[in-house]
Amino acid sequence: MENFVQQIINGLTLGSIYGLIAIGYTMVFGIIGMVNFAHGDVFMVSTFIALILFLALTQLLGLPSIYLALFLVLVAAMVLTSLWSWAIERVAYRPLRGSFRLAPLISAIGMSIFLMNFVQVTQGPRNKPLPPMFNDVIQLSGLPGAANGITLAWKQILIMAVTAVLLCVFWFVVQKTALGRAQRAVEQDRRMAALLGVDVNRTVSLTFVIGAALAAVAGTLYLVQYGVVRFDDGFIPGVKAFTAAVLGGIGSIPGAVLGGLLIGLIEVLWSAYVSSDYKNVAAFSVLIVVLIFMPSGLLGRPEVEKV
């Protein structure tokens, strides 16, 4: 039982990271109906930004407080990653918005390949480690140091708490603010929204910026949790996050986080009790089963075709 609870904690931690990345997928798809396949690599770029900034602050500048350094890194990574995503939207997606549907998709795949190879050339193909931090744990049951005890690391608490707070914040932004109303208007009918005075280009750009900022938070937390990053670390988490967005109901922010948590739990539990070799197969198999019986996902709304 203790091992099961431990795996649940680990799955929720991993799923929280997937959920933050998935929000970016679901917001962009909800606004312009495009799958931004470069979003996983934007997440990967944010991990390298966080790594470089953290090492610069702690080792080059000698900042004594790890907590202050992590906060500064998080803010800077969100800003820089958002600028990256804003530039990508302006250069690779906006000129193709009125073209045939496959053009933005092909452009997104090309941008994904460009980002991966750019980081590989500039940072090298090897793993980039981060000095261990936040290794203190809370012993929830069993004797201290016992093999069967349940441990909860402070960094796991941080990851789950940040995910919960950001979910609430961005749900409020979408539902209660002028930007959220503009996003929902563009989602329903882009042309009518423009006729009613909504700045469609600005709304789409801000959507990409928000998604990238959340990916930067996920990248920083991923670095804190695992302590290592590699140039191709955007592909698998990106695909898993996209799967989470579809599983939860693409277009739904709570659905994206719910899907991320489910994918994380499935992956961790399958690795613990069956085989880690087939954990990806298990996650994608669950997605297939859900889409067969619930094509719109767990929390998604059926799409009504406009005539």
CATH classification at residue 238:
1.10.3470
Bridge partner list, 229: 128
Q: What is the DSSP string of 19-60?
A: HHHHHHHHHHHHHHS---TTHHHHHHHHHHHHHHHHHIIIII
Question: How many angstroms separate the CA atoms of 80 and 125, rounded?
Answer: 22
Report whether 261 contacts 19 (CB < 8 A): yes
Query: Who has greater pLDDT, 193 or 2?
Result: 193
What pLDDT, on the 0 to 100 scale, is given for residue 53? 93
pTM: 0.90
* Average pLDDT value for residue range 78-83: 95
Section 195-217 average pLDDT: 91
pLDDT at residue 302 in the model: 63
The H or E element spanning position 137 is strand 137-141
Going by pLDDT thresholds of 50, 70 and 90, the confidence category of residue 303 is low
Tell me the C-alpha distance between 101 and 107, whole Å. Answer: 11
Q: What is the identity of the amino acid at 229?
A: V
> What angle, rounded to 10 degrees, do the helices at 39-55 and 102-123 form?
30
What gap in Å lies between CA 251 and CA 32, rounded to an integer? 11
The answer to whether position 283 is within a domain reads yes
pLDDT for the residue 187 = 85
Measure the CA–CA gap between 104 and 90, rounded to whole angstroms: 12
Is residue 299 situated within a structural domain? Answer: no
Average pLDDT, the chain: 87
Does the pLDDT of residue 143 top 70, yes or no?
Answer: no
What does residue 153 show for φ and ψ, rounded to 5 degrees? -80, 150
Taking residue 169's Cβ as centre, other Cβ atoms within 10 Å add up to 10
Q: Is residue 273 part of a domain?
A: yes
User: pLDDT, tens digit, for every residue of 160-185?
Assistant: 999 999 988 988 888 889 988 998 89
Q: Which of 54-63, 79-88, 143-152, 190-199 has the highest mean pLDDT?
A: 79-88
Q: Report if residue 300 sits inside a domain.
A: no
Q: Is pLDDT larger for residue 186 or for residue 132?
A: 186
Per-residue confidence (pLDDT) for residue 142, from 0 to 100: 57
Query: How many CA atoms within 13 Å lie on the side-chain side of 241?
Result: 35
Q: Which range of residues forms the domain containing residue 284?
A: 2-293
Does residue 261 form part of some domain? yes
The stretch 59-77 carries a mean pLDDT of: 88
In a domain, 11, yes or no: yes
Query: Does 306 score more than 60 pLDDT?
Result: no
Asked whether residue 131 carries a pLDDT value surpassing 90, the answer given is no
pLDDT digits (tens, 9 = 90+) for 259-285: 999 999 999 999 988 888 888 888 888
Where is pLDDT greater, at 39 or 288? 39
Mean per-residue pLDDT, 57-85: 90
Can you give the pLDDT at residue 304? Answer: 53
Q: 307 pLDDT band (50/70/90 cuts)?
A: very low
Q: Which residue has the higher pLDDT, 187 or 142?
A: 187
Q: What pLDDT is stored for residue 173 in this prediction?
A: 87
Q: How many domains does the chain have?
A: 1
